[in-house]
Amino acid sequence: MTLKVTVAAVFLFLATIASSNAQVNYAERFRAAAAQYKVLMRRLPAERFPKTYFAVNDSLGTSDSGWWCSGFYPGTLLQLYRETKDPAILTEANRMLGLLAKEQYNTGTHDLGFMMYCSFGNALKIDPRPEYKQILINSAKSLAKRFDPKVGCIRSWNGKPGDFLVIIDNMMNLELLFWATKVTGDSSFYKIAVTHANTTMKNHFRPDHSSYHVLTYDEQTGAVKHKGTAQGYADESAWARGQAWGLYGYTVMYRETHDQKYLDQANHIASFILDNPNLPSDKILYWDYNAPNIPNALRDVSAAAITASALLELRKYNSGAIAQKYLSNAKAILKTLSSSPYLAPGGTNGGFILQHSVGHLPAKSEVDVPLTYADYYYMEALTRLKGVEIDH
C-alpha cells in the first residue's frame, strides 16, 4: 500500500506541472514509471508478453514471443533500467530477452525490427554482449529474406497468392538493417532498406504527404494493385499511427543515409501532422485525422508518443524556426501525456504507464486501452527530451 501511495503522489506531482517551461524532474519521472512497471511485472504470467490491460475485468491481454509487440516490454524495461539502474528492472528485462531470443529466426514476419531491435538493440547499448550482436545479425538476415527485388519492398503481411502486401509500419523495421550493415560490412542490408524506403515514398504517399496504410502490389510485376487501409477509418483517410510511423521512419532514413530527399520527406510528413486542422489543441492525435466524429473521436496516445519521439530527433536535422517548432510540439505532447487523463495513476492500469490508445478500431480490437508500444515510445521520447534539456 505504501508503494501505491508513493507512486500516486509522484504522478500527481507530474500532472500538476504549472507550465511547459517548468523544469521537469526526470529522475522522479523515470522512477515513477519503473514503479508502475513493477506492478505489471508482478501480474504478468510466466512465459507471456504483455499487450494491453482490460479495466472492465481487471485482466491483462498477453501474447507469445511471436506477436509483433513482444519486443516493446523488454525494450521499455531496458530504457527504464538505463535511467534508474534498478536491478529488479534489469532482471525482468533479461528474463524476457531469454524468451524472445528464438524469434531471431522468424522469417514469417516483417516486424523483427520492432521485436528484436527495440529489445536486443537496447540491451546491446547497455551490455555489449557478443550473443546480443549475433541475435540481431540473425534477425536482420531473417528480415531480409522477406525482400522481393521485383516489388522493391519487404513483404509485410502474407496475403493471397499473387498479392504482395506492404504497410507503412514497415518503415520502422529498416533501422535493424542499417545497423546490420554497420556491424557486418554487408551492404546488402543497406541496399534493401533504401530500396524499400524509395518504393514506399513513391507509392504510399498522397500529394498532401499523408500516407495510405496498406498497398497491394502484384507479386509478379511489382505494379500497384490497390491502395487502402486496414486499421484506419477509410482507404483515403489518414490513420494517425500510420502517419507517425512514416514520420519516424523517414527521420531514421535521413540519419542513416544523409540523403536530403529523406529529410524533405520527413519534414513534409511533419507539416501534414502539425499543420493539420484536425490536430487537437492538446496535441494528442485523434485515431484518424479523418474520423467522422471529430471532435468526439477517440484519441490515440500511441500515435502521439511516436510522433513526439520522432519530432525530437527530426529537430536535430533542422534549424531555426522549424527545429523550434518540432521541439515545442514534442514538449507539448509530452506535457499532456504526463498528466491526467493519459498518465495512469500509480498502481492502476494493470501496471501500464499510459492510457487511451487505439490499436485496431475497425476490428474493435484494443480500443481505448493501454498498449506496450505507447509506453515504449513515451519513454524513448522522455529520454530524448531529457537529453535536450539536461544532458546538453
Kindly report, residue by residue over 38-81, the tens digit of the pLDDT: 999 999 999 999 999 999 999 999 999 999 999 999 999 999 99
Tell me what the mean pLDDT of segment 287-300 comes to. 98
Confidence of residue 24 (pLDDT cuts 50, 70, 90): confident
Query: Which residues participate in the annotated binding site for substrate?
Result: 111, 169, 229, 241, 245
Question: Between residues 390 and 232, which one has the greater pLDDT?
Answer: 232
Confidence of residue 340 (pLDDT cuts 50, 70, 90): very high
Query: Which residues participate in the annotated binding site?
Result: 111, 169, 229, 241, 245
The pLDDT of residue 149 is above 60: yes
Question: Between residues 317 and 13, which one has the greater pLDDT?
Answer: 317
Q: What percent of the chain has pLDDT over 70?
A: 94
Contact of 297 with 286, CB cutoff 8 Å: yes
pLDDT for the residue numbered 1: 32
Catalytic residue among 58, 64, 86, 111: 111
Contact of 361 with 293, CB cutoff 8 Å: no
CB under 8 Å, gap of 24 or more: what pairs does 134-139 form? 135/101, 135/104, 136/104, 136/176, 136/179, 136/180, 136/183, 137/180, 137/183, 137/184, 138/104, 138/105, 139/103, 139/104, 139/112, 139/115, 139/176
Quick one: cell of 343?
498518465
Residue 222 backbone class (left: φ over 0; alpha: ψ -120 to 50; beta: rest):
left
pLDDT for the residue numbered 22: 53
218 is catalytic: no
pLDDT for the residue numbered 237: 98
186 is catalytic: no
pLDDT for the residue numbered 103: 98
Tell me what the mean pLDDT of segment 206-218 comes to. 98
Quick one: cell of 95?
528474463
pLDDT for the residue numbered 23: 66
Confidence of residue 276 (pLDDT cuts 50, 70, 90): very high
pLDDT for the residue numbered 43: 97
Quick one: cell of 195?
530500396
Q: What is the mean pLDDT of the chain?
A: 94
Catalytic residue among 169, 288, 300, 375: 169
The structure's pTM equals 0.93
Right CATH number for 38-391 from 3.50.50.60, 3.40.50.300, 1.10.3720.10, 1.50.10.10?
1.50.10.10
